[in-house]
Amino acid sequence: MAKTLCDWKKDDIAKHPDRLAKLLLDPCFFCKKCARSSNSRKALCKPVALPSLVSFR
Ligand SMILES: [Zn+2]
């Protein structure tokens, strides 16, 4: 099993949609390398805080 979401293989995604769902709920971070998002900084290889959506309204 890959350490970060960025390293998940196609098989990991297919086998662990429940784990994926937990990591994707209310994302606060995105990976500046892979553009993945997560609520866990540890799940991303280059985590950066997501800008608040309020500022885009
Ligand atoms: Zn990444």
What does the DSSP assignment read for 1-57? --SSGGG--HHHHHH-HHHHHHHHSS--EEETTT--EES-GGG-SSEEEPPPGGGG-
Q: What is the pLDDT of residue 56?
A: 58
Ligand 1 center to 16 CA (angstroms)? 18
Ligand 1 center to 30 CA (angstroms)? 8
User: Per residue in 7-38, pLDDT tens?
Assistant: 999 999 999 999 999 999 999 999 999 999 99
Q: Quick one: pLDDT band at residue 53, thresholds 50, 70, 90? A: low
Ligand 1 center to 54 CA (angstroms)? 25
Ligand 1 center to 57 CA (angstroms)? 27
Look up the pTM and report it.
Answer: 0.83
Q: What is the pLDDT of residue 52?
A: 78
